[in-house]
Amino acid sequence: MTEGYEIRPAREQDEPKISALVKTKPEKLLQEIPAWQDFFVAVTKDGKVIGCAALQVSDKKEGAELRSVVVAEGHNCGVMVGSRLVRACIQKGKDMGLGQIKARTDEPRYFRRFGFLEVETTTKDKVGKTLMICKFQ
């Protein structure tokens, strides 16, 4: 456990906590919340879910989409909760042999640090976000 929390794959009993956390960020609700099995969670020693991120896999060719990256208020400064969740999703994608991960965001600068690049699109993303892709070799 690092910094008083651990990153781990979500368990079924985490689902209500994940849902409640995602619902604190209305902009994340423009699409359906992914299944709990797609999530990694950041959990404190006392079992509180303080962050989550989902890797929603479509298929190995298309890759996956990084979704619902959320960190609870008061836990997003200095302890790298979001960064560790994103890295866990990226590692899972690599371990699965995926070629790429997509992310739709209004914070492209944040995702660049993980190797995501903006994608030129001819049409506006359906939720008004920047499409980014992280490709694996």
- The ranges assigned to domains in the chain are 5-98
Q: Pick left, alpha or beta for residue 41 (phi over 0 → left; psi -120 to 50 → alpha; otherwise beta).
A: beta
What is the torsional sign of CA 15, 21, 24, 30?
A: negative
pLDDT tens, 123-137?
555 556 778 888 875
Q: Are 31 and 67 in contact (CB under 8 A)?
A: yes
Superfamily of domain 5-98: Gcn5-related N-acetyltransferase (GNAT) (3.40.630.30)
Statement: residue 122 has pLDDT above 70: no
pTM above 0.85, yes or no: yes
pLDDT of residue 112: 92
